A and B are shown apart, each in its own frame.
Chain A
Amino acid sequence: MVQKHIVEARGIHKHFGPLHVLKGVDLQVDERELVFVIGPSGSGKSTLLRCLNRLEEPSSGSVVVDGIDMLDPRTDINHARQRIGMVFQSFNLYPHMTALGNVTLALRKVAGKSRAEADALARKALERVGLADRADHTPGQLSGGQQQRVAIARSIALEPRVMLFDEPTSALDPELVGSVLEVMRSLRETGMTMIVVSHEMGFARNAADRVVFMDDGLIVEQGPPAAIFENPTHERTRAFIGQIQRH
């Protein structure tokens, strides 16, 4: 039998007006796989992630996630998006709600849970990110690391099949990065499929199954972390790895 990928993106092109940002990207991700995406600024990493849950409409190509054709106009996109969690660089927590409110909103309005059910599920999700005692705090009362963990809880409470992370630690003070990576690592241990755009090379080395290097709207090279970091075959990959390791 043919191996079934949980994420299957083929031939993705994306244009922003005259700008050709994705130039035919193929990305297949297996269940339980953790894929790291690296590449220079502007290479299209965020755009690729956003095409996977159709926050961005690809100009052409196909995206199938967990058997659902994301680009089919007949697909109930709001239903499909529940299965794809997304974590943003800037957290994007709702500042007018408590941590609990942030997590329960979609549980109630999209998943249709009662308030009591949603509260219970949300508390469980907050516990998983180590913030059970912060349920009643608003984002303004939380540190950056805590905010990002609430954002992760907001996604995992919906029991997604795939999680997308777009530079989840880039906006954090260095001493807060560890707590977020810790949560991501524990998520990985539960078998969550994850696609992570990040430059946390240490994390990539010991947690990623595969590293994908993008440049100029294309996947240039991919493979196990050791191969990509120690032995890149392409000149552009080598230059990029050298550059970030010097920093």
Chain B
Amino acid sequence: MIQTFFNPEIIVAAWPIVMSGLWNTILLSLIVVPLGLLGGLILALLASIRHPLVRWPLMAWVDFFRAFPPLVLLVLLFAGLPFAGLELGGFACVAIAFFLNTGSYYGEIFRAGIDSVPAGQVEAARSTGLSRMQAMRYVVLPQAVRNVLPDLLSNTLEVVKLTSLGSVVAVPELLYEARQAQSVTYNPTPIVMAAVIYFLILWPLVRLLSRLENRALAGRR
């Protein structure tokens, strides 16, 4: 059993390749999380312009990309775009797919946060001469982000998990490299290693999330 799932020799042999996979997963997360946050922020700021010409296309956009399975979106970009003469490579496809998909989720979270700030806050800010943008930046957004911090973190957890989708389009992230190692060694140990690593990097985030959620609950009481 131990020989099959925790084979020490294979751990040693697969170590470098799994580590390089881990590094790529971290790199990927460091790219797609800020990208998704940025996309979400742009969507939420656009949504705060309550003009119907902005509002309806925006709702359609957000709904579409939230309903679209991210894996399908990714494969479509990776396998479909070359037919349009656009060969982007796995990494870029993952970045775009995440920007579209998780950006829409982040966007909804930011929007809920902005809506949670009482209108009187903006009125007070505008009455002292702050512009619409300044009121958003200095008064609304800091409160909005604070109010939805648990949701932002929870979505970020999902995003980090979803980076494993990169393996489908040959981005050498953690899962992909582990599977490479498995197919060379004919042994599942590298997959187990990947699973343990995923757990080790995500578990602190989960703990942090629980604490934030408890605090939010306590604050609401």
Residues in chain A within 8 A of chain B (CB atoms): 53, 55, 78-82, 84-86, 88, 90, 92-96, 105-106, 109-111, 151, 154-155, 158
* Residue from A82, A95, A96 within 8 A of B128 (CB atoms): A82
CA of A92 to CA of B146, assembled, Å: 17
Given the interface contacts A88-B120, A106-B129, does A96 sit within 8 Å of B142 by beta carbon?
yes
Instruction: Determine whether the beta carbon of A81 is less than 8 Å from that of B124.
Output: no
Interface of B: prevailing SS: helix
* A56: nearest chain-B partner, CB-CB: B123
* Residue from A78, A92, A110, A111 within 8 A of B124 (CB atoms): A92
Instruction: Determine whether the beta carbon of B129 is less than 8 Å from that of A82.
Output: yes
Q: How many residues of B sit at the interface, in one of the four size bands?
A: 10 to 19
CA of A94 to CA of B140, assembled, Å: 9
Instruction: Determine whether the beta carbon of B130 is less than 8 Å from that of A84.
Output: no
New A-B pairs, 6, CB < 8 Å, besides A92-B118, A92-B121, A106-B129: A81-B127, A86-B124, A95-B143, A96-B146, A105-B128, A158-B129
* Residue from B120, B130, B139, B142 within 8 A of A78 (CB atoms): B130
Residues in chain B within 8 A of chain A (CB atoms): 118, 120-121, 123-131, 134, 138-139, 142-143, 146
Instruction: Determine whether the beta carbon of A81 is less than 8 Å from that of B129.
Output: yes
CB distance from A126 to the nearest CB of B (A): 15
* B134: nearest chain-A partner, CB-CB: A109
* B132: nearest chain-A partner, CB-CB: A78
CA of A79 to CA of B128, assembled, Å: 9
Could you list 8 A-B pairs, sorted by A, with CB under 8 Å?
A53-B127, A86-B127, A92-B123, A94-B139, A106-B130, A110-B129, A110-B130, A151-B124
